[in-house]
Amino acid sequence: MTEVQRPPLSADERTQLTGWLDLQRSFVRMKCTGLSEEDAHRKVLPTSPLMTPAGLVAHLRWVEYSWFQLNVMGVPDTGQTPWTEGGHVDAEMFVDDVPIAQLLDEYDAECARSNASIADLPLDALEKGKYAARGEAASLRYVLCHMIEETARHVGHLDIIRELIDGATGYTKLE
């Protein structure tokens, strides 16, 4: 894992937004480094059994896909997502049988695809997909801000879960 630095203090808006998102994304792998398969799938929150490191990584992968591919780019969902009509609302988090390394690789690949998809879009570009937030199209700027919030919130969950599993804390590389 290459350590990602904070964006420059005086960078342009796009560099700031994508830089903060990439920083939060890098913490996802960092918080999972060194976990055994058992610990990656360990249910430490009795009232939230899907909140495992593996479940959170899978969730973040599909959130990336949903916001950037389905919403921003307007790619049609042809059944590749884990969600089905009438299915469980958190279906993407049912990953007890999926190795954490695979989930992290899929997440990293999705993040790279997200970045490539939006590289040439202006921040004012509006969502093209039918899944637009609240019935109106959001700008790419909004989506980037939302994804910073979404990813950072779940990195906080990963931080707490990791501490409950083995006592590891902070944002240094865990080995």
- The two tokens of residue 13 are 């808006």
25-48 burial: b if 16+ Cβ within 10 Å, else e: bbbbbbbbeebeeebbbbebeeee
Domain boundaries, the chain: 33-76+87-166
CA 21, 149, 48, 62 dihedral sign is negative
- At 146, which amino acid appears? H
- At 121, which amino acid appears? L
Average pLDDT, integer, range 4-16: 89
pLDDT tens, residue by residue, 23-41: 999 999 999 999 999 999 9
Query: For the CA atoms of the chain, what is the radius of gyration?
Result: 16
Q: Is 113:25 a contact under the CB 8 Å cutoff? A: no
pLDDT tens, residue by residue, 49-90: 899 999 999 999 999 999 999 999 999 888 888 878 888 888
pLDDT at 174: 36
Fold (CATH) for 33-76+87-166: Four Helix Bundle (Hemerythrin (Met), subunit A) (1.20.120)
pLDDT tier, 175 (very low <50, low <70, confident <90, very high otherwise): very low
pLDDT at 170: 75
- Say what angle helices 53-64 and 100-118 make with each other, to 10 degrees: 20
Average pLDDT, integer, range 95-118: 97
